[in-house]
A and B are shown apart, each in its own frame.
Chain A
Amino acid sequence: MLTFITPKKSTNKLTLQLLIASVFTLGLAACNDNDKVAEEVVVVPVVTVMPEPPAMEYSYSITLTNLTYAQPLSPVAVALHGDTKMWQVGQSASVALEKLAEGGDNADFIALTSNMAAMSSEGAVPPGASVTLDISTTEPMATYLTVATMLVNTNDAFSGLTGVDISTLMLNQEKSWRLNVYDSGTELNNEALGTIPGPADGGVGYDATRNDIDLIGYHSGVVSKDDGLSSSVLTQDHRFDNPAVKLTITRTK
C-alpha cells in the first residue's frame, strides 16, 4: 500500500496508473499459478454496493487531570457532536457556555441540541485529582469532541477543548492534550467578594449581565490580593498558569 498527499489531479492520474498496474500484475500472477486456464483469467474491477451497515457503537474513555494548585474544576462536561465548535477565540460566548464559565453549571451546555452524546462528571475535580468518563454513541456523525470545565475560584475562567476531530482514532488508540485556560469574556475579572462561586468566596456564579469585553480569549491569570489587587478575595494560592488540565482520550470500542 502507499499513501500520497498530493494535488487531486496527480492522485487521479496515479490511481489510474495503479489500477492498470494492478490489473497487469494480477494477470501475470494468475498466469504463473494456473497455466492451464491462463486464457480464462480476466481480472475485472467489480464495484460492490455495500448494504447499510448495522448501527455500530463507538465508545471512548476520557480522563481529565486537574493540574492546578488550588483551583477546583467544576463538574466536567463531555460532548460528542458533528463538525462544530462550541466556542472560538474572538467570538462571544453562548449563554450555555457563560453559565458554565461563570458558575460551573453545565446543565444547559450538556443539553445543547447539537450534542449527539453528552454527560457530566458526578462532581467537581479537586486540584491534583483525576476523573474518568466513559461515553458511547451509535451516531456515525458524532466524531467531534468537546470538553469543558470551570476553574471555580475565578470570575469566568474555563478550560477545555472543542470541535476536535476524533474520527481517526483507532481502537485502543490514545490521544492526549495539555489544555490552557480561556476567559469567557462575560464577567470582569475583578475577583471581588460575592462574584466567585468557588470555595475561596462562595459568591454568585452566573449573572446574565455581560460587563467584560464579551469576546472569548485566553485568561490572563488571577492577580489576587497578595499580588496587588487590593479588592480581591483571592490569595496567592489561587494563581494558576498554563496548562491547567491534562486530558486523555482512548477509544475503547
Chain B
Amino acid sequence: MKVIKQSPIKSAFTVLALAFASSTTMAQELSITVTNLTQGLHFTPVITAAHASDNHLFMAGEMASVELQTMAEGGDISGLVNMLTNADANLNENPAMGLLAPTMSASFSLTNDSANTHLSLAAMILPSNDGFVGLDSWKIPEEAGTYTVFLNAYDAGTEANDEIRGSGAPGEAGMPVPPPLDASIGMNGTGVTDMESNTKVHIHRGSLGDDNMTAGKSDINNSVQRWLNPVAKLTITVQ
C-alpha cells in the first residue's frame, strides 16, 4: 500500500506510483501459521485455499456441500481439494501431517495467483459429530504485513450431535474416534439428541458432554473437550 500526499515534485512519482499500483495485481507470497487454541480439541487435516472472490468452502446460513459435509463429519478433505482444484485455487493440504493437536501450530507457505484474492480454511474438530473450524473467504490484504485472524467453530448442520462414538462416513451417525483420541473419549453414551433441526451451516452451539466416561448421555468429557470461541488463530504474513 502506498500513501502519497501532494508534493511539489509530484510528477516525479507518477511512474513509480503506477509501478507500485500494478504490483498489487501480481501473485503474492503468503506465510501462514494456524494455531489450535484449544486444550481439548484435535483438528483433522487442515485445508487452506486462496481462491476467487466468489468461491466459498462454506457460508453460514447456507446448506453444506457434500464435500464440506464429508470433511465436517469425517475429516476427509479430498472432495474439497477436487472442488478447489477445479476452480483454479491455490491450495495447501494437511500442514500438520495428520491431526493438529491441542495448542499446537502448523506453518506453511502459499503463493496465490492474481485472481485468487480470498482465503478460506477448514478442518473438522474432534470430538464432534460435524463440527469444524472455518474461515470463509477472507480478503487477502494487498499491503505487506502480518495479519491475525481468529476463527470460530461451526456446525455443518448435516448430522445430529449425539456426541457418541460412531462413524466418520457422511450421512452415518456418531463421531469418528481415531486412535490418538481413543483413551480420552468415553463409552456407552446413550446419545444427547438424534435431531438436527437446523440443517444449514451455523456457529456450533458447543458440546454438552458429561462427567461419566462409561455411561451418561455423551461420550465427550465435559471438563476437557468443550470450548469457547475462538478455537483457532491464523497468522498471515503478506510479503
Q: Which A positions have Cβ atoms within 8 angstroms of B? A: 1-6, 14, 17, 21-22, 24-25, 89-90, 180-181, 183, 185, 188-191, 212-213, 215-221, 223, 227-231, 241-242
Smallest CB gap from B39: residue in A: A217
Residues on B with beta carbons closer than 8 Å to the beta carbon of A230: 211
Known: A5-B1, A5-B144, A89-B35. A189 touches B223 (CB 8 A): yes
Closest to A182 in B: B37
Q: How large is the interface on B (under 10, 10 to 19, 20 to 34, 35 or more residues)?
A: 35 or more
**B9, B36, B143: the one within 8 Å of A5 (CB):** B143
Do A185 and B39 form a contact, CB below 8 Å, given A2-B13, A223-B222?
A: yes
On chain A, the residues within 8 Å of B2 by CB distance are 2-6
B39-66 interface mask toward A, CB cutoff 8 Å, 1 = contact, 0 = none? 1100000000000000000000000000
Q: Is the interface of B mostly helix, strand, loop or mixed?
A: loop
18 intermolecular pairs with C-beta atoms under 8 Å apart: A1-B5, A2-B2, A3-B2, A5-B143, A5-B144, A21-B9, A25-B8, A89-B35, A180-B228, A185-B103, A217-B39, A217-B103, A220-B224, A220-B228, A221-B227, A223-B209, A229-B211, A241-B228
B37 neighbours in A (Cβ, 8 Å)? 89, 217-218
Task: Tell which of B81-89, B110-118, B126-134, B229-237 binds the partner.
Answer: B229-237
CA gap between A215 and B1 in the complex, in Å = 38
Interface residues in B1-42 (C-beta closer than 8 Å to A): 1-5, 7-9, 12-13, 16, 20, 35-40
| Cβ 8 A contact of B105, one of A2, A90, A212, A241 | A90
Which 9 A-B pairs rank lowest in CB-CB distance, beginning with the nearest?
A217-B39, A218-B37, A217-B103, A90-B103, A215-B103, A220-B226, A21-B9, A3-B3, A221-B228
Distance of A14 Cα from B4 Cα, bound (Å): 13
Chain A binding site: helix, strand, loop or mixed by DSSP? loop
What A residues does B227 contact at CB under 8 A?
A: 218, 220-221
Q: Taking the complex as formed, is B104 at the interface, i.e. its CB lies under 8 A from any CB of chain A?
A: yes
Within 8 Å by CB of A228, from B40, B104, B143, B222, lies: B222
Interface Cβ pair total, 8 Å cutoff: 104
Q: Is B179 an interface residue (CB 8 A)?
A: no
Instruction: Find chain B residues with CB under 8 A from A3 CB.
Output: 2-3
Residue B145, interface by CB 8 Å: yes
Known: A218-B38, A218-B228. A2 touches B145 (CB 8 A): no
Extra inter-chain contacts (4) besides given A2-B13, A3-B3, A25-B9, CB under 8 Å: A185-B103, A212-B39, A218-B227, A223-B211
Known A2-B5, A89-B35, A220-B224; judge A231-B103 contact (CB<8 A): no
Cβ–Cβ < 8 Å partners of B225 in chain A: 220
Q: Which residues of A contact B228 (CB under 8 A)?
A: 180-181, 218-221, 241-242
Give the docked Cα–Cα distance between A89 and B222 (Å): 21
Q: Are A242 and B103 in contact (CB under 8 A)?
A: no
In the bound complex, residues from chain A placing their C-beta under 8 Å from that of B5 are: 1-2
Cβ distance B141 to chain A, nearest Cβ, rounded Å: 11
* B208: Cβ under 8 A from any A Cβ: yes
Q: Does B210 contact A (CB under 8 A)?
A: yes
Q: Is B102 positioned at the interface, with any CB of A under 8 Å from its CB?
A: yes
Chain A proximity of B177: nearest CB distance (Å): 19
Task: Return chain A residues, CB-CB under 8 Å to B223.
Answer: 188-191, 220, 223, 229
B230 touches A180 (CB 8 A): yes
User: Would you give the shortest CB distance from A83 to chain B, in whole angstroms?
Assistant: 14
Point out the residue from A17, A188, A242 that lies within 8 Å of B229, measured CB to CB.
A242
User: A228 and B209: CB pair below 8 A?
Assistant: yes
Residues of B within 8 A of A241 (CB): 228
A220 touches B38 (CB 8 A): yes
Q: Are B230 and A242 in contact (CB under 8 A)?
A: yes
